[in-house]
Structure 1
Amino acid sequence: MKLKRFLLRYYPPGIILEYEKAGKFNTKSIDLLDLSPGCDTEKLIDLIKETEPLITDSCIPQLKHLLSRLQEKLNQPDNHRFSLFKKLQAHILPLTNVAFNKSGTRFITASYDRTCKIWDTASGEEIHTLVGHRNVVYAISFNNPYGDKIATGSFDKTCKLWSTETGKCYYTFHGHTAEIVCLAFNPQSTMIATGSMDNTARLWDIGTGEEMATLVGHSAEIISLSFNTVGNQLVTGSFDHTVSLWDIPSGRLVYTLTGHRGEISSVQFNWSGSLIATGSMDKTCKVWNTLNGKCVTTLTGHKDEVLDVCFNYTGQLIATASADGTARVHSAASGECTAKLEGHEGEISKICFNPQGTQVLTASSDKSARLWNVDSGSCLQVLQGHTDEIFSSTFNYEGDIIITGSKDNTCQIWR
């Protein structure tokens, strides 16, 4: 093996190694999830050298430089205040979802009007309208980090794969017998997973357009799914109150995670793939160990359904959003609630951390989105201007742009 070059990854902190083996180029990552501005880099370098054979003495000066750059990034003040840049009359019917590409230069919106649109973030100009679905376009995603393809899942029971550059449809994936409500690309961008109201998830080959596997086992609708970072496992959450962990190479069911007493609303892996967080209509979030399928802790405190859950990039914190109008931040290790986010006047349907992990963004039926301080739980900013409930909101990769999508048919760009 021969090391060719280093690549820096800011969120979460890490260094990617590009190397050559038997004439082929490969990559592997050194995750630095515990890196802090005051961390002793000499000790860290010694540890990396012990565990990574590609790192030789000649690499050390460059490795020191990269760690210094990561520490500088972590130490940057996070006091950006967002202003409304543009309000886009995006669709003729309510929006269902919004999503950024990796660089944040483009974003997509999906709607009840049966279309998905691609937008230029800097100008707010529409680039393409993706037309072809015969019902609501509900689930959307870029194949990040590449960003050259888009997947759309529809109530018409199909998923479509599109070119970001031309807006051309590569494939229409047929097979589901009910609405598609969730989807995801694997990290390698070789397949798409779709979850449906027909109780199944399916895996599709984006190179050939063929179905690779049907994941059968749930007895009710699959409402949420997520790949782990490596791409060898998929988790699915269902209205049957259970969560399933699947092995992707074989399509085999690894574990059924049981314990929730209500429908599952949201599932997500942490970055390392060691934990899964699940939100449920039973008012709780559970954290599961992927190695043994056991429940590690149950996060309680909400007075109504938990509608969305997410990890921060390092996997140390979990945020939960509830129909009770509040959100909470918890320690993933202990399950302790570290901050209560109170102020919305309606249910919170979406929640996410900024890439830096210092702020939480919430979207609510009270027509506003809010930014919160992770440590104190104080509200930093209220993003107002929509005239109906906000269904979706998200940060770009750098955390300095926000898109909000609403039932009022518009999306707003905040910078």
Structure 2
Amino acid sequence: NVLKLLLERYFHIYYRIILDYEKGGQQRTKSIDLLDLTPECDVNEVLSEIRRVEPLITASRAEQVKILIQRLQDKLSKPDNRKFYLFKALQAHILPLTNVAFNKSGSSFITGSYDRTCKIWDTASGEELQTLEGHRNVVYAIAFNNPYGDKIATGSFDKTCRLWSTETGKCFHTFRGHTAEIVCLAFNPQSTLVATGSMDTTAKLWDVESGEEVYTLVVSISIFLPTVQSICFTLSVDYSPPFVPPLPSIFYSPTAVVHTLIGHRGEISSVNFNWDSSLIVTASMDKTCKVWDADGGQCLATLIGHDDEVLDVCFNYTGQLIATASADGTSRVFNAQTHECVCKLEGHEGEISKVCFNPQGTCVLTASADKTARVWSVSSGSCLQVLEGHTDEIFSCAFNYEGDTIITGSKDNTCRIWR
């Protein structure tokens, strides 16, 4: 093997070293992920571990790798002093927004609304690109088929899901079969299946190419596993009738139950996998979150501290941190391994319905009923910025892939682009 080149790359998600080498006359590439790298890490220990597992890093290359590690540490230690300003306030819909979502690159985003439409927007200009019309009730769940971004799925209270072309706005398929509102949906990573979850307590899998129903499961869906065609199902939070009794979270493959995750004492509002699908985190109306082992199905920890229902939960991109959002008006950040509370984010004057990390994992974004979104420092727990201007509750918020743009969607019928 001939090691031709060493590169450092910051993928906004985590740090990695790229090895470009030649073997048998062919160019090959290998990456070394540094998920646990911090400014406090001992460089020599990190280097030793890399050399232990990677024979391409010979003694003659060790110093070069050491320099790369130090440069990555320097980047990590630099404070994130970005301040977001209001770039565009878009009178997006004639009725309140339900959700917002970016495509993979962040070049465009979509909004769903009570006005029965989904709209596609150009992030750079704020220009409306397409209006997806056809649903007969609230468009509640929306998603791009990332990383491709050429299709959009919309789930509606009209009990149908529609599949659309991002470029033309054409409706490819209307998926019919649910007997109650569709409240969540997701594409599988290959973009060959769409899963829909409904208040009829079923989830359905649909074939993207043919538009046919593939499978029906009894419960409702939250998110696809990142690496295989499996789904984590949970009862979605519902703020309107009909009342659905609390159900346990259930981890499914397309044809069989893998694990039933039993332990919560209230409805489950949100569920997420970490980056390698080894852990699952669930948020519940019982005021707690639980961390589960995805392979064995055991509960590893219960995250406590909130005084009211936990409405949202997420991992950061490296899976090392967990952020929670609660009706008690606070958000918390937990260490995903030790399960200790790293910081408590206090300042909102209303319930927090949405929380997410920036791709770098240095900041948390929260959306609240107090009409503001806030950006918080993970390291200190301090509020870095209050995003003000909406005139009603903010239901949804998101960072783009670069972490330099934020979208907020509100009950005031507008979405705002912050840059």
TM-score range, shorter chain: 0.7 to 0.9
Q: What's 1:23 paired with?
A: none
Note the C-alpha offset of 1:397.
0.6
Q: Which of 383, 388, 393 is the aligned partner of 1:389?
A: 393
Matched residue type, 1:119: W
Shift of 1:240: 2.7
Mapped to 2, the partners of 1:188 and 1:51 lie a distance apart of: 30
Query: 1:344 offset after TM fit, Å?
Result: 0.8
Q: Select 1:177's aligned residue among 176, 179, 182.
A: 179
2:359 aligned residue:
355
Deviation at 1:255, TM superposition (A): 0.6
Q: Aligned to 1:301, what secondary structure does the other structure show?
A: coil
Structure-1 residue corresponding to 2:247? 241
Match of residue 107, structure 1, among 85, 92, 109: 109
The structural deviation recorded for 1:95 is: 0.1
Summarize the Cα distance change of 1:107–1:17 in structure 2 as closer, same or farther, 3 Å threshold: farther
Structure 1: which 4+ aligned runs deviate by more than 2 Å?
Answer: 5-10, 12-19, 26-32, 35-53, 60-77
Q: 1:379 aligns with which of 377, 380, 383?
A: 383
TM-score between the two structures when normalised by the length of structure 1 = 0.87
Matches within 5 A, 1:11-410: 11-14=13-16, 31-36=33-38, 74-216=76-218, 218=219, 222=220, 225-238=222-235, 240-248=246-254, 251-410=255-414
How many Å separate the matches in 2 of 1:40 and 1:209?
54
Q: Report the CA distance shift for 1:67/1:102 in structure 2 as closer, same or farther (over 3 A).
A: farther
Q: How far off its partner does 1:402 sit?
A: 0.4
Q: 1:39 to 1:235 in 2, by over 3 A?
A: same
**CA–CA distance in structure 1, aligned partners of residues 29 and 279 of structure 2:** 24
1:163-196: CA deviation from partner (whole Å, max 9, x where unpaired): 1111111111122121110111122222111111
Residues 183 and 195 of structure 1 are in contact (CA less than 8 Å); yes or no, is this contact kept in structure 2? yes
CA deviation after TM superposition for structure 1 residue 74, in Å: 3.9
Provide closer, same or farther for how the CA distance between residues 162 and 338 of structure 1 changes in structure 2, counting only shifts above 3 A: same
- Following superposition, the deviation at residue 207 of structure 1 comes to 2.2
Given that 1:136 and 1:155 are in contact with CA atoms closer than 8 Å, whether structure 2 keeps it comes out as yes
- For 1:17 and 1:171, the matched residues in 2 are separated by 43
CA-atom RMSD in angstroms = 3.2
Query: Could you say if the C-alpha distance between residues 275 and 16 of structure 1 is closer, same or farther in structure 2, counting changes exceeding 3 Å?
Result: farther
Letter in 1 for 2:381: G
1:375 deviation in Å? Answer: 2.0
Q: Which amino acid aligns with 2:36?
A: D
User: Structure 2 length normalisation: TM-score?
Assistant: 0.86
Give SS of 2:266's match. Answer: coil
| Counterparts of 1:30 and 1:205, CA distance in 2 | 36
The answer to whether the 8 Å contact 2:12/2:401 transfers is no
> Structure 2: how far apart are the matches of 1:29 and 1:112?
45
Deviations 1:46-83, CA, capped at 9 Å, x for gaps: 76677679x798xx899999878866654554110011
SS at match of 2:234: strand
In structure 1, distance between residues paired with 2:190 and 2:133 = 26
Cα distance in 2, alignment partners of residues 17 and 393 from structure 1: 36
Structure number with greater Rg is: 2
Cα deviation code 1:288-338 (max 9, x no counterpart): 111111111101111110000011111111111111111111111222112
Question: Partner letter of residue 414 of structure 1?
Answer: W
For 1:164 and 1:326, locate their aligned partners in 2 and report how far apart those are by CA, in whole Å.
Answer: 36
Aligned length in residues: 403
CA distance 1:338–1:72, change in 2 (3 Å): closer
* Shift in CA distance, 42/401, structure 1 to aligned 2, threshold 3 Å: same
Structure 2: which 5+ residue stretches go unaligned? 22-27, 236-244
Q: CA deviation at 1:232?
A: 3.6
Q: CA 1:212–1:327 in structure 2 vs 1: closer, same or farther (change >3 Å)? A: same
The code of the aligned residue for 2:374 comes to R
Change (3 A) 1:43 1:336: closer
CA distance in 1, matches of 2:215, 2:96: 33
Say whether the 8 Å CA contact 1:9–1:16 is kept in structure 2: no
Query: Could you tell me which residue of structure 1 aligns to residue 25 of structure 2?
Result: none
Q: Is the 8 A contact 1:9 1:15 kept in 2?
A: no
